[in-house]
Structure 1
Amino acid sequence: MSYLVLARKWRPRSFDTLIGQDHVVRALTHALSSGRLHHAWLFTGTRGVGKTTLSRILAKSLNCAQGVTATPCGHCQACTEIDAGRYVDYIELDAASNRGVDEMTQLLEQAVYAPSSGRYKVYMIDEVHMLTGHAFNAMLKTLEEPPEHVKFILATTDPQKIPVTVLSRCLQFNLKQMTVPAIVDHLKYVLDQESIPADTQGLRLIAQAAAGSMRDALSLTDQAISFSAGNLTAAAVGEMLGTLDQHHLVSLLQALAAADAPGVLAVADDLAARGLSFQAALADLAVLLSRVAIAQRLGHAQADDPWAGEVQALAGTLTPDDVQLFYAVAVHSRQELALAPDEYAGFVMACLRMLALLPPDRVPPVRLDAPPAAQAAPASRPDAVTAGAAPQPVPAAASKAAVISETLSTTVPAPAPAAVPVAVTPAASAVAVSIDSSSSRAGDGIPAWEDAAPSAPAASAPAPMASAQDPVVADAAVVPDVPTGPIVAGPAVPPDDTVAATEDWTADIPDLPDDFEPAASADAVTMDDEVLSGAVTGLRDSSAAGARETPDPADLTPAGWPALAASLPITGTAQELALNSEWLAGNEHQIRLRVAIHTLTEGVAHDRLRTVLSEHFGRVLRLEVEYGTTGDDTAYAVDQAERGRRQQAAEDAVAQDDVVQALVGTFAARVVPGSVRPAAV
């Protein structure tokens, strides 16, 4: 005898064995018991939820030898032949292959004849939404007023494609997807009857993969039995399905909670080595985060969760804000994964985005090793040196102000017979120093800085030595002016951009006699401690003034929203939503906008703009977009007003131009309408 697959062998034969459709069973049972039988039923739902099974049970209930009953016997000729698929008065028609008006006309012509052996002639049309419009129109009259011996059962997975004229003639029952516990319980019963051992966790994996379809669950069970040689363990089922082990996700969340970037990358590398789907990994991560959020709200993990211990531990480690942040990034990153160069890069960037959006005090500073070339070049003050001494290197662990204070105090001592003062020209009377306190050198935490060159370089000062670690920053803070005047100092050091950082260019300075005295001059001056203290204080004030704070949505006004909307790094429909929206309100938790285009109020554009705004404000925000009339406070309206103003200014300028007026007056020329364009900004 040939093998019969589990999905067919264990198909329900009566209403009481049907799983997960209690609402439909109750309605049909009451109708059959009371004799209030409709002439047409429509069953809708996804694949594998019981549409065909219900139609067969209903056909048996209508034609059972015991009479019209909610509990067919299952042993009479009608019941056995309907189960076997050979009952002459039960016609199953596949609308996908019989979708034309000719096939429908032929079927309806046979409907007028009385049933051969049964009580009712039952027509079951599967995937009825595949019928053509002419076929639907051909069956309308018969469907509305069929012969007394005819019953119609329609089934579809897409009821939206069925005309309302057909829907209004049927009783519609929406079949629900099976829940995971219901599928697991049914699989346990089936495997117990088949005498096949099974692990509950393995059955749960099958139920989750079935996505609400009992037929899919039974088919996967057949496959798992063959794959595991009759021993359905969680490991065997997971290997067969290629599903992600929850241990990886737990390790990933633990690394994210600890802001452990190497640990996050280790999990990503492990997933890549196993060839697992990063799309599925993000989906499973979102599911795990939802379970953690539920545990945080309830105070305990769900009792039926096989990973209750790990979920409870994560609920205590992660804050509710972290869970919501990670969940939002995981969900939105699934949509962006198709745009990534590859799935690995998209998954890694999603995880690093989670770390980047954490509060700064939660993320430890990253220390990168400096390149060898940069380490070999000491950073020193080129505009002040001590005779016979090499330039002093900048201490790696010192702050910016301390570095400059120490450098200046050690390289410009008080006049001494053995020291050679630096020649200072009037053009170099002020030292401009730039500090950017919002950026820091990678690796040592020192603010990035560089001394700006004076307006006219001194003839005796060496050229500044470039360093790969010292980017030039604008907005220099100028140290108070120092009285200027030349100081006779012997041979000056020629400026030479090619002087290497390690070259001892002070070796060429000749030794001076012990009785050397600087020439007296009314403009001669020395840089005393008071001047140096003022310089360091100015640098500290500049560093504090340059600090950048995270913007707050509550501080944004409707007038400031257009500029922010135009500067956001988005494209497509999300950009259209930002440019055409009007600011209503904002606080630390949510932002409210109004837009006059209804299609932009939800969907991908809404989700993308929410993500970008959360990244801009440094916190997870809710975005509410309402539909309504907008004013002149949208970025698009502001841009159009500016374009109109510039266009009018350009036309006025052309009309008042002397050359244009001369051409018009002399040659009766005219300006072609629409030809004037404002200059590009």
Structure 2
Amino acid sequence: MEHFVVSARKYRPENFEDVVGQKAITNTLLKAIDSNHLAQALLFTGPRGVGKTSCARILAKKINQDANSSDDQDFSFNIFELDAASNNSVDDIRNLTDQVRIPPQTGKYKVYIIDEVHMLSQSAFNAFLKTLEEPPKHAIFILATTEKHKIIPTILSRCQIFDFKRITVFDIKEHLASIAQKEGITAEDDALHIIAQKADGAMRDALSTYDRVVSYCGNQLTRKAVAENLNVLDYDSFFDSTDYILAGDIPNLLVYFNQILSKGFDGQHYVAGLASHFRDLLVSKNPATVELLEVGDQTKQRYLEQAKAIDYNQLMTCIDLASECDFNYKNSQNQRLLVELCLMKMASISSGNLPQKKKCDVSIKPASEVTYQVQHKQIDETETSKKEAIHSAETHSDLVNNKKNLYPNNHQQEELSVKISTETENQADDQQRVSNNANYALDANEKELISSEEKKVKVENQSIKKTSGFSLKAIQKKKELIAAKEKNKPKEIERFSEFTEEDVQKAWIAYSNKIEKRGNKILASVYNSDIPKLNGKEICIELPNETMKISVLQDQSSLMKFLKEELDNTEISLEIKVNHVQEKKYAFTPREKYQKLAETNPAIENLRKTFELDI
């Protein structure tokens, strides 16, 4: 039986041109070699299987080649590989540094490739620092790692860092197609696309999966066979599910979901895939976003056709339902029911049977009509002068204006106004409960309309000097005075000057001295009890007790006004913390320990009595 070589080793890149998906890095290294600008310490970082070690070996071979060297010469005597995962001690690094001093026997450089360098211990890193910073002229170090954040900064600062990216699905698919062509294997485009997606940006994983699929399928790779071997849900599953959803066919949709579960697939995996499918349908609806589809040409046409049959709003709702189901899947007690409910909701959207949330049937009426209904009740038939509801300011003003002709004298008009006010106040007490109930029934929008209507009445009746003691009028007048005061209040000019913590402390001391000169020495001592710290635009101060905090809060407006002027910045804020001293916790006495145990287990007390024990 002939020895089998896996594709990851058989098709390992021999030169920079063969490296897939890392053109920026390979071109940089080639130009650095040609211009003799290559650093002596390089760090290759990135995900697994993207070509870090391969590029390190190619670089080690490339820098030792000259005009007389052949491409087959590997310069193995000049390349030293060290696995830092198993050789991570200080002694291993010391042995390496001792070897670095010896010049190469052939070639110009000795290249040391340290793989998984993040596994080195802290002591090993420290022992490696001096050699890495000032290596001999003939030594070049290439460090490779998948976890750059675990390497100490002093190592990173001594290396030229190259970040390898994940290989795209398209590049992996094209590379697999070229390998299949070399080996005489017929492969469908969608089949290779599934393998590329399964690899998650790692070429080594893609080649390993490719070997596995070829062993199963032989010389004919089909999409169906690849999906079956890799145990992944292919595109047909989601296309068929979407057809059932669009048709509103809930029974067949649930049966189809049961078939998927019977094949061993997880419900969450199905829901997540369905959400991704709806996302692909969404980007298929616009020609500008079709290029975001990472699928084969045949599958892309299917997406474009199905996207025409589904509405944009329906797509967004289905994505929202699928995402919500995916989020709640782990915490659900009945996970299958959760997915089935999600599917039924999606199908109900298409058929138009999705139950809508009940909304409060409150119609917003015009402000004038609402004001009239609330404030103007029916007039009693026997006593036309008395009313059952509170009159609005507008009605009251109209009544005064209508009586002017009957009472032309100003004194008589004032007496009439007082008389009407007295009658209104007597009736307001009787009808207060009715008015309150009516006001509570109003929607927030109606109240806002009433407020705006009453403001109009205020503007129209500014000529009337005398106003009654009517409660609604008094409340409205108070609101208008507050609003006018806020409107006339000068606006603060926004300032955004930069300042430091030292500037804050100087301004803080200046304010403390200011209030101390005014005679408020107690408050000044409170401000001097701590030095303020600066956190962004927030000034933080820590006080020993709540009493001091209350004193500062009472003076906060004056303090912040002074600090904003001194620092020329209106974005600053103040945070006050209280340093509470925790009470000391003492250990339990032996008797307290026994009582605690007896409360937990009453049998201990019976044991003590049986043997007549004492504590």
Structure-1-length-normalised TM-score: 0.49
- 2:73 partner letter: C
The equivalent residue for 1:118 is: 107
The equivalent residue for 1:98 is: 87
8 Å CA contact retained: 1:51, 1:155: yes
Question: What does 1:325-364 align with in structure 2 at a 5 Å threshold?
Answer: 325-341=317-333, 344-352=336-344, 354=346, 358=349, 362-363=352-353
Deviates more, 1:326-335 or 1:200-209: 326-335
Deviation at 1:342, TM superposition (A): 5.9
2:189 paired with 1:197? no
The equivalent residue for 2:73 is: 76
8 Å CA contact retained: 1:99, 1:130: yes
**Kindly tell me: are residues 93 and 335 of structure 1, through their superposed partners in 2, closer, same or farther at Cα, counting changes over 3 Å?**
farther
Distance 1:342 1:150 in 2: 62
The equivalent residue for 2:123 is: 134
1:90-137 Cα deviation digits (max 9, x unpaired): 111111111122211221121111123232111111111111111111
The equivalent residue for 2:31 is: 30
1:516-538 Cα deviation digits (max 9, x unpaired): xxxxxxxxxxxxxxxxxxxxxxx
Distance 1:279 1:89 in 2: 52
Deviation at 1:75, TM superposition (A): 1.8
Q: Secondary structure at the match of 1:190?
A: helix
- 1:159 partner letter: K
8 Å CA contact retained: 2:44, 2:162: yes
Instruction: Give the share of equivalent positions with the same residue, in percent.
Output: 35
2:175 paired with 1:175? no
The equivalent residue for 1:2 is: 3
The equivalent residue for 1:314 is: 306
1:125-174 Cα deviation digits (max 9, x unpaired): 11111111111111111111111111010111111111111111111111
Structure-2-length-normalised TM-score: 0.55
The equivalent residue for 2:196 is: 207
Distance 2:335 2:13 in 1: 42
- 2:25 partner letter: V
Alignment root-mean-square deviation, CA: 3.1
Question: What does 1:451-466 align with in structure 2 at a 5 Å threshold?
Answer: none
1:436-466 Cα deviation digits (max 9, x unpaired): x989xxxxxxxxxxxxxxxxxxxxxxxxxxx
Q: Secondary structure at the match of 1:91?
A: strand
**Kindly tell me: are residues 41 and 438 of structure 1, through their superposed partners in 2, closer, same or farther at Cα, counting changes over 3 Å?**
closer
Q: Secondary structure at the match of 2:86?
A: coil
Q: Secondary structure at the match of 1:338?
A: coil
The equivalent residue for 1:19 is: 20
- 1:362 partner letter: G
8 Å CA contact retained: 2:40, 2:139: yes
8 Å CA contact retained: 1:38, 1:171: yes
The equivalent residue for 1:216 is: 205
2:176 paired with 1:187? yes
**Kindly tell me: are residues 64 and 307 of structure 1, through their superposed partners in 2, closer, same or farther at Cα, counting changes over 3 Å?**
same
The equivalent residue for 1:280 is: 269
Deviation at 1:36, TM superposition (A): 0.7
Distance 1:204 1:60 in 2: 33
- Of 137, 140, 152, 1:151 maps to 140
Distance 2:267 2:193 in 1: 21
2:49 paired with 1:48? yes
Deviation at 1:364, TM superposition (A): 5.8
Distance 1:203 1:144 in 2: 45
- 1:62 partner letter: I
Distance 2:359 2:132 in 1: 75
Q: Secondary structure at the match of 1:88?
A: helix
- 1:162 partner letter: I
Distance 2:274 2:339 in 1: 11
The equivalent residue for 2:287 is: 298
Deviation at 1:332, TM superposition (A): 4.5
Distance 2:53 2:128 in 1: 21
- 2:11 partner letter: W
Paired positions, count: 363
Distance 2:302 2:78 in 1: 57
Deviation at 1:628, TM superposition (A): 11
Q: Secondary structure at the match of 1:275?
A: coil
8 Å CA contact retained: 2:190, 2:299: no
Distance 1:60 1:3 in 2: 26
**Kindly tell me: are residues 342 and 127 of structure 1, through their superposed partners in 2, closer, same or farther at Cα, counting changes over 3 Å?**
farther
8 Å CA contact retained: 2:89, 2:121: yes
Deviation at 1:294, TM superposition (A): 1.0
Q: Secondary structure at the match of 1:306?
A: helix
The equivalent residue for 1:63 is: 64
Q: Secondary structure at the match of 2:112?
A: strand
8 Å CA contact retained: 1:268, 1:344: no
1:487-508 Cα deviation digits (max 9, x unpaired): xxxxxxxxxxxxxxxxxxxxxx
The equivalent residue for 1:388 is: none
- The structure that is helix-richer by fraction is 2
Deviation at 1:180, TM superposition (A): 1.3
8 Å CA contact retained: 2:46, 2:165: yes
Q: Secondary structure at the match of 1:125?
A: strand
- 2:60 partner letter: A
- 1:184 partner letter: K
- 1:314 partner letter: Q
8 Å CA contact retained: 2:61, 2:74: no
Deviation at 1:346, TM superposition (A): 4.1
Distance 2:321 2:233 in 1: 19
Q: What are the ranges of 5 or more consecutive residues in structure 1 without an aligned counterpart?
A: 79-86, 367-436, 440-548, 556-626, 630-681
- 2:65 partner letter: C
- 2:57 partner letter: R
**Kindly tell me: are residues 99 and 331 of structure 1, through their superposed partners in 2, closer, same or farther at Cα, counting changes over 3 Å?**
farther
The equivalent residue for 2:383 is: none
Distance 2:157 2:174 in 1: 37
Q: Secondary structure at the match of 1:227?
A: helix
2:206 paired with 1:246? no
